[in-house]
Amino acid sequence: MAPNVTLLILIVFIISTAIGIVYFVSVQIKSLKKDSEEDKVLTEWLKEMKTSVDKSSETVERQLKDQRDSMDKQTKMIWERLDSAAKVISGVQSQLSSVQEFGKDMKDLSNILKSPKLRGGLGEQFLYEILENFLPKDMFKTQYKFRDGSVCDAVILTDKGLIPIDSKFPMENFKLMLDSELPADRDKAKKDFVKDVKKRIDEISGKYILPDEGTTDQAVMYIPSENVYYELIVNTFEIEEYSKRKNVVLASPNTLSYFMKVILVAYQKGELQKHTGEILKALSGIKVEAEKFNEDLEVLDGHISRTSKSMDTVKTRYQKLFGKIDGIHAIGREDNTLLPPVLPEES
């Protein structure tokens, strides 16, 4: 605003000065009686003054226009920045809304985890997702019911028998152990936590390890929380020993995923063994044709003496190939060993 005021004052001053000069000159013209040459000089001088005033006015107007354009640009930039700031604020508000919704969801999840029944259902769902992601559908069954009415969360079907898997989520005393500030309270909560886990191990061992109904002599206790599993395996040695005595393998989401990969490899190997007879039969046909081909080569070798050296090379290479085929065929005469047990046997 200051440059505009200065320019305005300058314009007023110039115009006032010009008017004063013109007025002064007019008075002088009227009061003085000079010859025509002096009048002519004066007239030229007035023209020059007028031209100078016009140029000054144009300059001032141009500067004013530049100032207005500059101010328009600055105003436009300010509005654009305000608009951008409004968009940013709107985005932040949207993100804050999402955070609030996430916090609400976390609170709902926390409430779910407080309920043993709902927590158990959540653990079962996690278990089913792992099974579906790693194994064919014909390799496992969910909600498997035994003769006495006991229902196991899932069983894996193997040539060694059914592998029971049951989800357990012992959280109450575990959380209390983490939240306790006094060592005595923490120790008590840990003892109660160990009791809870042993109780779950006993349930699985007693209810689901049933060789008479086709199960293996081991079962899996799936713990949906890595933190709980880590506490049991690393900081609670007695649980590991206790689970071994009860033939129950503890598994977290990560370890169960690895376990499923091992099961799948064993399954695929078993499928290959089912087709071993067909493979050996095909190899037998190849061997018969190879023997006939060898006889033809021997006849041809007897007639083409000039190429005996090259033929010897061909025969040598062929005999190596034939030996490898014969070695593959010998697989069928060997006693195939069974697949190693999926779960490690207790030593």
The answer to whether the beta carbons of residues 342 and 263 sit under 8 Å apart is yes
Give the strand pairing for 151-158 and 248-251. unpaired
pLDDT tens sequence across 162-194: 999 999 877 777 788 788 788 888 889 888 888
C-beta neighbour count of 158 within 10 angstroms: 19
What is the percent of the chain with per-residue pLDDT over 90, rounded to a whole number? 16
Instruction: Categorize the per-residue pLDDT at 69 as very low, low, confident or very high, splitting at 50, 70 and 90.
Output: confident
pLDDT at 143 over 70: yes
Range 62-69 average pLDDT: 76
The answer to whether the beta carbons of residues 229 and 250 sit under 8 Å apart is yes
Which of the listed CATH numbers 3.40.50, 3.40.1350, 2.60.40, 3.30.70 matches domain 122-272? 3.40.1350
Q: In this structure, is the dihedral angle defined by the CA atoms of residues 40, 42, 44 and 50, taken in order, positive or negative?
A: negative
C-alpha radius of gyration, the chain, whole number? 49
The answer to whether the beta carbons of residues 262 and 160 sit under 8 Å apart is no
pLDDT tens sequence across 219-234: 999 988 888 888 888 7
The answer to whether the beta carbons of residues 221 and 212 sit under 8 Å apart is no
pLDDT tens sequence across 277-326: 564 555 455 545 555 655 666 666 665 555 556 556 656 655 665 565 55
Look up the pTM and report it.
Answer: 0.49
End-to-end CA distance of the chain: 93
pLDDT at 218 over 50: yes
pLDDT tens sequence across 37-52: 656 666 777 677 667 7
Most confident of 46-50, 97-101, 253-257, 276-280: 253-257
Give the whole-angstrom CA distance, residue 117 versus residue 304. 86
Residue matched to tokens 């709980």: 228
Residue 215: strand pairing partners: 162
Give the whole-angstrom CA distance, residue 309 versus residue 135. 56
Range 323-332 average pLDDT: 54
Q: What are phi and psi of 327, to 5 degrees?
A: -65, -40
Give the whole-angstrom CA distance, residue 142 versus residue 335. 36
Nearest to 280 by CA among 268, 270, 288, 292: 288
Q: Which residue has the higher pLDDT, 22 or 201?
A: 201
Q: Which residue has the higher pLDDT, 54 or 141?
A: 141
Q: In this structure, is the dihedral angle defined by the CA atoms of residues 93, 97, 98 and 103, taken in order, positive or negative?
A: positive
